[in-house]
Structure 1
Amino acid sequence: MILSINIFLPINNDLLTLDTNLKKMVGAKHPILYAAAEHLFTAGGKRIRPALVLLVAKITVNNKNLLPEHRRLAEITEIIHTASLVHDDVVDECQTRRGIETVHSIFSTKVAVLAGDFLFAQSSWYLANLNNLEVVKTISKVITDFAEGEVRQGLTNFDTTISIDDYIEKSFYKTASLIAASCKGSAMLSQCNIIDQNDFYIYGKHLGLAFQIIDDILDITGSIKSLGKPAGLDIKNGNLTAPLIFALEESPDLYNLIKRECQNKNDIYKAIQIIKTTKGIQKAQDLAQEHIQASLQIINNKYNCQLGTTLQLISHYVISRLN
Structure 2
Amino acid sequence: MLGRSFIRRGSSWSAAVEAAARLVTPAAILKDPISLVSHEMSQLANNIGQLIGSGHPTLNRISAYYFESQGKKIRPLIVLLLSRALSEIPLEQRDRIKIDTLDIPEQPVYEGTKSLTALFAEQVKDPVGPLSPLKILHGINPNVILDPLTKPHESLPEFDSKRGILPKQRRLAEIVEMIHTASLLHDDVIDNSDSRRNRPTGNIAFNNKMAVLAGDFLLGRASVSISRLRNPEVIELLSTSIANLVEGEFMQLKNTVLQPNEDMIEDDTKEIPKPTGVIDTTIHEYSVKLPEGETITHEQNVQAAFEYYIHKTYLKTAALLSKSCRSAAILSGARDDVIENCYQFGRNVGLCFQMIDDVLDYTQTSQQLGKPGMADLKLGLATAPILFAWKENPELGKLISRKFKNPGDVEYAVEQVHKYKGLEKTKELADHHCQLALNNLRSALPESDSRSALEFLTNAIVTRSK
What is the letter of the counterpart of residue 164 of structure 2? Answer: N
Offset of 1:179 from its aligned partner? 0.6
Amino acid in the other structure paired with 2:429 = L
Aligned residues: 323
Pair 1:242 & 2:268 matched: no
1:172 aligns with 2:198: no
Map of 1:279 onto structure 2: 421
Q: Does 2:169 correspond to 1:66?
A: no
Gaps of 5+ in 1: none
Identity percentage of aligned residues: 35
Question: Is the counterpart of residue 119 in structure 1 residue 218 in structure 2?
Answer: yes
- Deviation digits for residues 6-63 of structure 1 (CA, Å, limit 9, x no counterpart): 2322112383311211222221222222111111101131111111111111122256
Structure 2 residue 344 is matched with structure 1 residue 202: yes
* Separation in 2, partners of 1:12, 1:252: 51
Q: Which residue of 2 aligns with 1:84?
A: 183
Residue 283 of structure 1: how far off its partner (Å): 1.2
TM-score for both structures, normalised by structure 1: 0.94
Structure 1 counterpart SS, 2:462? helix
Q: Does 1:30 align with 2:173?
A: no
- The answer to whether the 8 Å contact 2:195/2:201 transfers is yes
2:72 paired with 1:46: yes
Return the alpha-carbon distance in structure 1 between the equivalents of residues 258 and 190 of structure 2: 18
Give the number of the structure whose alpha-carbon radius of gyration is greater.
2
Q: Which moved more, 1:300-309 or 1:213-222?
A: 300-309
Higher mean C-alpha deviation, range 308-317 or range 271-280: 271-280
Alignment match, 1:311: 454
Q: Does residue 228 of structure 1 match 2:327?
A: no
Task: Please give the TM-score of this superposition, normalised by the length of structure 2.
Answer: 0.66
In structure 1, distance between residues paired with 2:340 and 2:462: 23
Contact 1:157 1:237 in 2 (8 A): no
Q: Does 307-316 or 11-20 show the bigger shift?
A: 11-20
- Which residue number in structure 2 is paired with residue 101 of structure 1? 200
Give, in whole Å, the separation in 1 of the partners of 2:325 and 2:430.
19
* Residue in 1 that maps onto 2:13: 2
**Distance across 1 between alignment mates of 2:444 and 2:394:** 47
- Aligned partner (choices 258, 268, 287) of residue 410 of structure 2: 268
Instruction: Quote the offset at 1:291 in angstroms.
Output: 0.4
- The offset of 1:289, in angstroms, is 0.6
**CA shift digits 1:232-283 (9 cap, x unpaired):** 1111112111111111122356444434433345432332233122221111
Q: CA deviation at 1:146?
A: 0.5
> Which residue of the partner structure matches residue 12 of structure 1?
25
Instruction: Determine the C-alpha separation between the residues in 2 that align with 1:204 and 1:47.
Output: 15
Alpha-carbon spacing, 1:261–1:177, altered in 2? closer, same or farther (3 Å) = closer
Higher helix share: 1
- Cα distance between partner residues in 1 of 2:308 and 2:405: 25
